[in-house]
Amino acid sequence: AQSVAQPEDQVNVAEGNPLTVKCTYSVSGNPYLFWYVQYPNRGLQFLLKYITGDNLVKGSYGFEAEFNKSQTSFHLKKPSALVSDSALYFCAVRPEYSGAGSYQLTFGKGTKLSVIP
Amino acid sequence: DTGVSQDPRHKITKRGQNVTFRCDPISEHNRLYWYRQTLGQGPEFLTYFQNEAQLEKSRLLSDRFSAERPKGSFSTLEIQRTEQGDSAMYLCASSHLGALKYNEQFFGPGTRLTVL
């Protein structure tokens, strides 16, 4: 079974500073990794994904994430935080193989990001 | 592209009542998923459909829960004899068969259920 850990319930960062939201995962075989963002009373919005190839993945709104296979991590980053980035961020994983149990996403508990003006 | 829509957005019911939620996926998407999200937690998988076939169900989906996708378009999730523990946000997502391998799922706004 796969799992995701987001070790920080909350991350506070000053506007204009770089931000990092941490994620580690466990999965059989190679992972497909995703980041989603959730604003209050809204559904999840897709930010970016890692499937294969370059370990640095670029996504929406200036976010990027770095895949590290040896550390089983997929940390979300942004060079300069905006107040509007304040939201709940979820990391998710599914295994590369196709078959039973593979299509469902397994999510972490989420990290609340607060960007302070 | 209208995105994934869900109805209702909010539902308050009394314990023991039945409730039904509807999800309309993105029109060309073949796969449809239901997740449940409780406060302070990430979404948890409930079930998914490929066209009209329900291919997987989570152990979270007790006998009181049933989901359908009769014509391979919209889906309904029914909860019978609701319990207070059913209070949660119910999220629907869809994905395109062409992106099958990557499973990029697009989520609706959710239905928030409160059982009194």
Distance CA A34, CA B22 (A): 26
Q: pLDDT, tens digit, for every residue of A3-48? A: 999 999 999 999 999 999 999 999 988 899 999 999 987 789 999 9
Number of C-alpha atoms within 13 angstroms, CB side, residue B12?
1
Interchain proximity A109–B4, CB inside 8 Å: no
- Check CB contact of A103 with chain B, cutoff 8 Å: yes
Q: pLDDT, tens digit, for every residue of B45-99? A: 999 998 999 988 988 888 999 999 998 899 999 999 999 999 999 999 998 866 5
User: Which residues in chain B are closer than 8 Å to A34, comparing Cβ atoms?
Assistant: 104
Distance CA A116, CA A113 (A): 10
Find the CB nearest A42 among B41, B43, B109. B109
- Show the tokens assigned to B5: 């829509």
- Show the tokens assigned to B105: 């799922």
3-state secondary structure string, B8-33? CCEEEECCCCCEEEEEECCCCCCEEE
Which residue type, as a one-letter code, is found at position B91? L
Interchain proximity A109–B43, CB inside 8 Å: no
